[in-house]
Amino acid sequence: MNNTRVRVAITRAVSPRIAECELSYIARQPIDFARAAAQHDAYERLLASLGCEIVHVAAAPDMPDSVFVEDAAVVLDDVAIITRPGAQSRRGEVDSVADVLQRYRPLFRVAEPATLDGGDVLVIGQRLHIGVSQRTNVEAVEQLNAIPINFQDCLHLKSAATQIDDETLLLNPRWVDARQFPDLNCIAVDPAEPFGANALRLDDVVLFSASYPRTRKLLESRGYRVEVVDVSELEKAEAGLTCCSLVAEN
Ligand code: GLY
């Protein structure tokens, strides 16, 4: 019997219209599409080097934020939740993501009046922690029987906090109060790097943005294996490392 598990990372190509993306808490600046696409390629190569099979969702060149597939779904062990993004401009992204995810999981769709961005969902053990934000409302929290989390001054909960091992969150304490996670240890980002809390954990590896070297050093000093990738052009679209993939174990 073959018990080998396959880890799939679902991604989508960067839209040539990425410079028209939604922005909420950061100022618009020019985005170099070719550079963003090259950085996205490097991100995919890093995921592949760590054992992920890269599976592409159909490109959506007319949807500026479509590279950020994390917001369209939440992948759990036994089901994939298909979201209803809070930004009207992003609602059209979900069906093509669902088309891919249905190969791997039964689907559950969040229903109106709920709005939910996957970037607001932190899965800790078996529980969903959902940040209530300008994109995600309490109806989504209720439909998913989740734990509501309050945060401020950033787009998504996972801009403010991500899990880096079974017991530990990396977070920006100015944006989210660690006391909302009483069962976890918390490591604070370097105060000079407020956006540094968005890390992508794959087992014992932490994928981390090259933009936050102080926080990276902090993690390394704590013994984490950190793999760095430059996503600075994508970060201009108010995105982080987790936003660019959906990881499913199969
Ligand atoms: N640009 C990412 C978002 O606002 O959804």
pLDDT for position 213: 98
Q: Please give the pLDDT value at position 123.
A: 98
Q: Tell me whether residue 215 is in a domain.
A: yes
Positions marked active-site: 156, 243
**Cα gap 52→80, rounded to integer Å:** 18
pLDDT-derived band at 4, boundaries 50, 70, 90: confident
Amino acid at the residue 223: G
Confidence class of residue 226 from pLDDT cuts 50, 70 and 90?
very high
Q: What is the pLDDT of residue 3?
A: 59
67 CB within 6 A, ligand 1: no
Question: Hey, which of 12, 21, 83 would you mutate to test ligand 1's pocket, going by the most ligand atoms within 8 Å of its Cβ?
Answer: 21
Q: Give the DSSP letter of residue 146.
A: P
Burial of 65 per CB tally in 10 Å (0-12, 13-18, 19+): buried
Nearest CA to ligand 1 atom 4: 22
Whether the CB-CB separation of 224 and 206 falls below 8 Å is answered with: yes
pLDDT of res. 165: 98
User: What's the CATH number where 79 sits?
Assistant: 3.75.10.10
Domain annotation covers residue 134: yes
Per-residue pLDDT at 144 exceeds 70: yes
pLDDT of amino acid 66: 98
65 in contact with ligand 1, CB cutoff 6 A = yes
Q: Whose CA is closest to 238, among 176, 186, 194, 190?
A: 194
CA–centroid distance, 67 to ligand 1, in Å, is: 10
Average pLDDT over residues 30-37: 98
Per the domain annotation, does 1 fall within a domain? no
| Ligand 1 geometric centre to CA of 64 (Å) | 9
Residue 2 in domain: no
Look at residue 238 in the predicted model and tell me its pLDDT: 98
Indicate which residue's Cα is closest to atom 5 of ligand 1.
22
In-domain check, residue 40: yes
> What's the whole-number mean pLDDT along residues 172-178?
98
Token readout for 25 is 């808490």
Question: 116 CB under 6 A from ligand 1?
Answer: no
What six digits make up the tokens of 70?
């994390």
pTM of the model: 0.97
Cα 22 to averaged position of ligand 1 atoms, centre (Å): 5
Whether residue 243 has pLDDT greater than 80: yes
Is 205 within the bounds of a domain? yes
Residues linked to residue 56 through DSSP beta bridges, in sequence order: 11
Tell me the CA–centroid distance for residue 213 and ligand 1, in Å. 24
Query: Is 181 within 8 Å of 163 (Cβ atoms)?
Result: no
Report the percent of the chain where pLDDT is more than 90. Answer: 97
What whole-number percentage of the chain has pLDDT above 70? 99
- Residue-level pLDDT at 49: 98
pLDDT at 26: 98
Which domain range does residue 67 map to?
7-249
Class of residue 29 by CB neighbours under 10 A (exposed 0-12, middle 13-18, buried 19+) = exposed
In the reported structure, the alpha carbon of residue 40 is separated from the centroid of ligand 1 by a whole-number distance in angstroms of: 16
Number of domains in the chain: 1
pLDDT for 142 beyond 70: yes
pLDDT at 5: 80
Ligand 1 atom with minimal separation from the 21 CA: 1
Q: Cβ contacts of residue 74 below 8 Å, gap of 6+?
A: 80, 81, 83, 118, 121, 123, 128
Give the model confidence (pLDDT) of 76-134 as tens digits.
Answer: 999 999 999 999 999 999 999 999 999 999 999 999 999 999 999 999 998 999 999 99
68 lines ligand 1 (CB under 6 A): yes
> Is residue 186, in this structure, part of any structural domain at all?
yes
Can you tell me the distance from the alpha carbon of 88 to that of 84, in angstroms, rounded to the nearest whole number?
9
Query: Of the ranges 3-7, 151-155, 167-171, which one carries the lowest mean pLDDT score?
Result: 3-7
Span 5-25, pLDDT tens digits:
899 999 999 999 999 999 999
Position 177 in a domain: yes
Count CB-CB contacts under 10 A for residue 105: 17
234 lines ligand 1 (CB under 6 A): no
Cα–Cα distance for residue pair 170/172, rounded to 1 Å: 7
Residue 180: which residues within 8 A CB-CB, separation 6 or more? 129, 149, 150
107: three-class secondary structure by DSSP: strand
